[in-house]
Amino acid sequence: MATEMDFDDILELVGNADWFQRRLIYLLVYPVSFLLAWMVLNILFMVSVPNHWCHVPGRELYNLTVDEWKNLTIPRLENDAGEEHFSQCSMFNMSIGNGFALTPVLDANGTAATVGCLHGWEYDKSSWRRTAATDFDWVCGDSANPTTVLTINSVGSVVGTLVYGILADLIGRKPIFFLNIAIFLIGGIINIFAPTFLVFVTSRAIAQTTFPSLYNTFFTLAVELVGPSLRGHVNAVAFFVWTVSMCSLPLVAWLVADWQVLGLITIVPAVGFFFIWRYIPESPRWLISVRRKAEAKKILQEIAAVNKKEVPKDLDAMLEHLSAQIENEKKYGIFSLFTYRLSAIRTVFLTFCFIGNIVIYYALQMNVSNMAGNEFLNFFLLSAVEAPANVFGWLGSEHLGRRWTEVCSFAVTGVACLTIMPLLFYPNLTWLVTTLAITAKFAITVSFFVVFLQSAEIYPTVLRGSGQALGSTMAYAVGIGSPAIIYLSTANRILPYLILGMIAVVCAIMASFLPETLGTDMPQCVEDTRDFLKDQPYFSFITRRSLKRREACTAGSGARRRSTMVVSQDGLNGVTTRLAKPDAECHG
């Protein structure tokens, strides 16, 4: 079988896991992964709505505490769990008479009349001095405003994914990455000092168009400049640093207790990325794909110089041959995934799994303010659980298989969410509700890890990036409804968990019909997807141990494996497919 030129072969000659690549990880992957979590998730704290009640003037005249004054001026209501609490949006219609007598206005039935908050609101300042919600009074009649902000954020993400994704293929990864940083900084700063709701939501939406493009461009740039041995490291580093950043965010928010200060701390440091411009090269893979071979050659020479490697004498011929191969692959389009029935079904199921992961993951994180207990501690716990979840996802997918790890993750998420529903009516079981919510977050994080791996191994090389882009775009489009799902808790507290639980169950069923790809050769072209793992039994269970036995058997029979290398244009994960076919089968 003929061996074709692959970019990784060229990169290996100039160094694919040496100082140049490690410097890239230190300068790009570590800081971007850390700051990106702050930049994107700070909005959840900035629009936090603390406990509030109507402001009734005159408390200073009576020298009463806040609670004593609330007992006199604010009616009590009962929630669906039978607990009493002070109304947040109504007050007794009171008047201060002669001698400072506090006299309620009676209605026709002779009971104290209630009215809306005539004089504004007071806010519980035990956790926050100021949030955007308290500054703009996004409560009661305007209580949907924080949800609107988060929803418009999601719309911005969808638009940005499409626009910047196209631009990244047209003008390059590096300029789009720094353009995204500039846009987020401008939109974010305007957002922090917005004078009105319209300016606030518009500026934030503009800033949010850069995510997930920011992640995709920096991650693509990184994996396209490192060899196969470092790609797993880049992925692990990005996930781990993101988790550390998420865990630190609630601590920063708790310490400053001011939404504008929090915004400045979490956004302004991104200016530092412009100081490393000269150390971040354009992707040579992309330059070759657009026939800018001279620029690609210059970067490869720089990589060789930093890594103290010899530049191949026939580099020009290699780049020309590689460019011709990529041109030949460009005939495929995203709709080619629907050419064959089996491929089309798997594309639909994978897309639904992407959607389920995005919707559930962000809905659980957004719901932190509705959970009982301290919102900062809850956010930390929901974030910290991602570290062991990613380890479990990696170990599970490598030793138990991708398919059943994914199915079990969705199933655990669904069971946890549905089990929470009846517990919401028992105030003494809030600890169990929090535990189950953390369990659901753990499980959906495992699923998040596995679904990207599954898609990389099920989609053919020529459309792997397009397939994952389709899943991400559809997921963020549907994810626009995540804030609305959480807002349903204002009508009925069980609705968010019911919806998320049902989504997880449906995704678990769909994931069970995807093939097990552990240890299998990945498809190269669209034609390979026609019968890819078609005869695999539904209840098949492939483990790393069984694969080792098979490999030992193959080695014992003297079978040799041959490989063909193909150029990968995968913009999301940079994976290079190496199809391997055994010369002889191992029988017995």
Banded model confidence at residue 440, pLDDT cuts 50, 70, 90: very high
Check pLDDT > 60 for residue 75.
Answer: yes
Check pLDDT > 60 for residue 106.
Answer: yes
> Which is higher by pLDDT, 20 or 581?
20
Among 129-143, 342-356, 500-514, the minimum mean pLDDT is found in: 342-356
Average pLDDT, the chain: 83
Q: Over the stretch 324-345, which tens digit does the pLDDT of each residue have?
A: 766 665 566 677 788 888 888 8
Question: How remote is the C-alpha of 440 from its chain's centroid?
Answer: 15
Give the mean model confidence (pLDDT) for residues 53-71.
Answer: 88
CA-nearest of 402, 525, 515 to 460 is 525
Q: Looking at this protein, which amino acid is placed at residue 80?
A: D
Check pLDDT > 70 for residue 135.
Answer: yes
Distance CA 86, CA 96 (A): 21
> Which is higher by pLDDT, 569 or 437?
437
Check pLDDT > 60 for residue 104.
Answer: yes
Task: Answer yes or no: pTM beyond 0.85.
Answer: no
Quote the Cα angle for 178-208-258, to 5°.
105
Banded model confidence at residue 415, pLDDT cuts 50, 70, 90: very high
Among 88-92, 202-206, 372-376, 388-392, the minimum mean pLDDT is found in: 372-376
Give the mean model confidence (pLDDT) for residues 123-129.
Answer: 94
Distance CA 320, CA 314 (A): 10
Rounded to the nearest 10 degrees, the angle between the axes of helix 259-267 and helix 30-46 is 160
Give the mean model confidence (pLDDT) for residues 242-263.
Answer: 96
Check pLDDT > 80 for residue 466.
Answer: no
Q: Is 83 exposed, middle or buried (0-12, 13-18, 19+ CB in 10 A)?
A: exposed
Quote the Cα angle for 8-236-286, to 5°.
35
Q: Over the stretch 270-327, which tens digit does the pLDDT of each residue have?
A: 999 999 998 899 988 888 878 889 999 999 999 999 999 999 989 989 888 887 766 6
> Which is higher by pLDDT, 530 or 174?
174
